[in-house]
Chain A
Amino acid sequence: MRIVFDASSLISVSQTCLVRILPALKEAVNAEFVIGPVVFNEIVSRPLNIKRFQLNAVRLDTLVKQGHLTVQELDSEATAFSQKMGELANNLFFIKNKPIRIMQQGELEALALVKQLNAEAIVVDERTARTLVEKPSALNSLMGRKYRKNIKENMENSRELKKMFFDCAVLRSVELIALAFEKNALAGQIENNKRALEAALYAAKFSGCAVSFAEIQNFLRGV
């Protein structure tokens, strides 16, 4: 199984000091964890020069060097796919006939990599890319509420995007943590019990993972 990560999910995992669950989880579910070069630059090359985030970068770079995280270049087809998706997504919503640029290169690269590898899942902690893949109309409503203006959706682009989006599971770092708990992969890093699971899920939320308190509480009730 191949799982692609965007920068936000790896930053959250690294911030919570839970990077070591990734090798254990990778082994437990027999997966390959993949990132693109833009994401590598965002999570390693750039923060290596920022004192405050240097440790995060070192942790993630170690995962790459140890082979737990693979950096995969985009082929020409995926590069074209990423550009096309960017054009469609950044011309999807309009206010007063002006398009709103919503997506950035790193996020588009991760989506294109899923397509290239025919990956089973993508891990995205930020909200917009995930919503764009799953339910673009929810973004339309959100922007309408926030800007208090009428948002025009380019339906042709919307249809084209739907055709481009693929059948893959969209996960966040909280799902990886939950999966690690199921597979006893938290052990070694922290205890593998409900209290540790709860602590790890909230840590991911406070590190920026787009999950609500209600979602975490609902999930924990069933554990």
Chain B
Amino acid sequence: MNQEAKFLEELKKAFAKPEIVALKKIGNNALHSAALENNRLLAKIALISYSLYKLSTKEHIVRNRNWNSARKAIFKNLENAFRQAREKKFLQVEKQLQLIIDNVVQTDRDMGYFLTNTFDKAKIKLASTAYAFGLSLGQAAELTGTTKEQLLEYIGNTVIHEEKLSEIGIKKRLELLRKKNRAVIE
């Protein structure tokens, strides 16, 4: 079975129960594979998995009387996406995934409290993980479809930049600049 079908099968099972921890884990695993292979389809599966994890943990959503019908619609589209992925009809998979994304966004619009929807938050969160793993800011943003502005803002509030990759501090960098342009900078 191809990777897309494998992840979609796991996702379908986890969402049916629902297994909250598994949904999050599938999202992370699919993202790692997406980052390694620059695979946008896997990135979308990761985003959907993470969004479904977030929706399933929100009490005001799971208690909403419309949640059950939204879940059924999402599950049906997940089943279709899985079947098409197994048959390697990837264009069709993409269309089905978009339907799920539309379901998620609509659910959030109808039942959520925030201006930034769960799917957009998932894009930022997963892009920050890709950045932490070594992709550039632009590459990480492109992979999940978020913006550099949102990603930078998010990253600035994490501990990602506490991990030391360079020994060159602020003072040293300014010294290097002065060496390059002594006449002007001094």
Q: Please list the residues of chain A having a beta carbon within 8 angstroms of any beta carbon in chain B.
A: 1, 7-8, 11-12, 15, 29-31, 42, 46-47, 50, 52-53, 56, 93, 95, 98, 100-107, 120-121, 125-132, 134-135, 138-139, 142-143, 146-147, 167-172, 174-175, 178-179, 182, 205-216, 218-219, 222
Question: Is B161 in contact with A107, judged by CB distance below 8 angstroms?
Answer: no
Q: Chain B nearest CB: distance from A57 CB in Å?
A: 9
Question: Is B180 in contact with A121, judged by CB distance below 8 angstroms?
Answer: yes
Most buried by A among B131, B135, B164, B170: B170
Measured CB to CB, the nearest residue on chain A to B153 is A208
Question: Is B180 in contact with A7, judged by CB distance below 8 angstroms?
Answer: no
Q: Please list the residues of chain B having a beta carbon within 8 angstroms of any beta carbon in chain A.
A: 32, 35-38, 131-139, 141-142, 147-157, 160-166, 168-171, 173-174, 176-177, 179-181, 184-185
Question: Is A1 in contact with B156, judged by CB distance below 8 angstroms?
Answer: no
Question: Is A107 in contact with B138, judged by CB distance below 8 angstroms?
Answer: yes
In the complex, 28 of the A-B residue pairs with CB atoms within 8 angstroms, ordered by the A residue number, are A11-B148, A12-B156, A15-B149, A15-B152, A15-B153, A30-B184, A42-B138, A47-B147, A98-B36, A101-B139, A102-B135, A103-B138, A121-B180, A126-B138, A128-B131, A128-B134, A128-B136, A142-B165, A169-B179, A210-B161, A211-B161, A211-B170, A212-B163, A215-B169, A215-B170, A218-B170, A218-B171, A219-B170
Question: Is B171 in contact with A168, judged by CB distance below 8 angstroms?
Answer: no
Measured CB to CB, the nearest residue on chain A to B134 is A143
Smallest CB-CB A-B distances: 7 pairs: A208-B152, A104-B138, A126-B137, A128-B136, A208-B156, A219-B170, A101-B38
- Which residue of the partner chain, among B149, B152, B163, B177, contacts A121 with CB atoms under 8 Å? B177
List B contacts of A50 (CB < 8 A). Answer: 147, 149
List B contacts of A143 (CB < 8 A). Answer: 133-134
- Please measure, in the bound complex, the distance between the C-alpha atom of A84 and the C-alpha atom of B148, giving whole angstroms: 24
List A contacts of B38 (CB < 8 A). Answer: 101
- Please measure, in the bound complex, the distance between the C-alpha atom of A50 and the C-alpha atom of B149, giving whole angstroms: 10
- Please measure, in the bound complex, the distance between the C-alpha atom of A93 and the C-alpha atom of B153, giving whole angstroms: 28
Measured CB to CB, the nearest residue on chain A to B158 is A208
- Please measure, in the bound complex, the distance between the C-alpha atom of A170 and the C-alpha atom of B170, giving whole angstroms: 11
Measured CB to CB, the nearest residue on chain A to B37 is A98
